Amino acid sequence: MTNILIPVKSLAQAKQRLSGVLSDEARAGLVLAMLKDMLSTLGSWNDGDVWIVSADTKVIATAHDFGARVIREEHSSGYNEAVSTGFRELDPKEPVLVLPGDLPRLTFEDLGNLLSSFSLEKKEVRIIPDQKRIGTNALFLSSPGLIEPAFGADSFSKHKAAAKTVEADTSIYELANLAHDIDSPDDLFDFASLNTAGETSKYLGRVGFCREGFTEQNGKVA
């Protein structure tokens, strides 16, 4: 059994780096659309539970709509604290996969590749870096809390160092769909140009966002 943990910030705080191209309302809608795509993919996961960690009522309602379990924060106090809160609630004997909520390209095949052939008899860390190999876009631990979460600046190197400190077997997985999160305007432009199916693409279409359309406009998508 492998639990999947998805921490999601309060929508009011979400995706601040996109504030130059999306309004507050549009950023909140984007976060929910990406979460819906991920939960739709994870709906077929039957080897553990899918958990959402959040203090946001709309995020929690979306989790319930998709049958995910919820770990409710009293208030949003940072991404790594949310991960640690989740770890404390999970079975310490079961492995966990931490996924950010901005991976709408996630596929069930990605999960199969990432979570195959591990042993509960040894310490193991699997890290999926972002496309620049600076951040961490997914983190598998053979037990919750095996290492302290260090998401944020230089998290890829920090997680590798932490795994070495606890003498865990460490693997780096290069998975394209997980390497491409949506964190910056360029990420959003790149995703919009793919014309993929799913809630995220539908949402961007509804708010009128596309690379060509935004280039012609001079302002934010409302």
- Backbone φ and ψ for 94, nearest 5 degrees, come out as -110, 140
Give per-residue pLDDT as tens, 98-143.
Answer: 999 999 999 999 998 898 887 778 999 999 999 999 999 999 999 9
Domain assignment present for residue 203? The answer is no
Choose among 113, 158, 114: nearest CA to 135.
158
d(CA 17, CA 183): 7
Parts of the chain with a pLDDT under 50: 213-219
pLDDT attached to residue 218? 40
Domain assignment present for residue 49? The answer is yes
Edge to edge, what strands does the sheet with 136-141 contain?
A: 69-72, 50-54, 3-7, 96-98, 136-141, 124-129, 169-172
Distances, alpha carbon 97 to alpha carbons 13, 87, 111, 138, in Å? 24, 10, 10, 7
Please report the DSSP string for 133-179 in residue order: SSSEEEEEESSTTSS----STTHHHHHHHHHHHTT-EEEE---HHHH
Domain assignment present for residue 28? The answer is yes
Is the Cβ–Cβ distance between 28 and 101 less than 8 Å? no
Choose among 119, 122, 114, 85: nearest CA to 97.
114
The residue range of the domain holding 25 is 3-184
Domain assignment present for residue 208? The answer is no
Domain assignment present for residue 201? The answer is no
Distances, alpha carbon 165 to alpha carbons 160, 169, 181, in Å? 9, 11, 28
Q: What domain count does the chain have?
A: 1
Q: Which residue has the tokens 């996969």?
A: 97
Domain assignment present for residue 29? The answer is yes
Does pTM surpass 0.85?
A: yes
How many residues are listed for the chain in this entry? 222
Quote the DSSP letter at residue 198: S
pLDDT attached to residue 210? 59
d(CA 210, CA 194): 10
pLDDT attached to residue 221? 54
Q: Which residue has the tokens 């790594």?
A: 80
User: Measured between alpha carbons, how far apart are the two ends of the chain, in Å?
Assistant: 42
pLDDT attached to residue 185? 85
Joined together, the tokens standing for residue 138 give 């997914």
Domain assignment present for residue 213? The answer is no
Domain assignment present for residue 42? The answer is yes
Give per-residue pLDDT as tens, 39-53.
Answer: 999 998 888 899 999
CATH of the domain at 110: 3.90.550.10
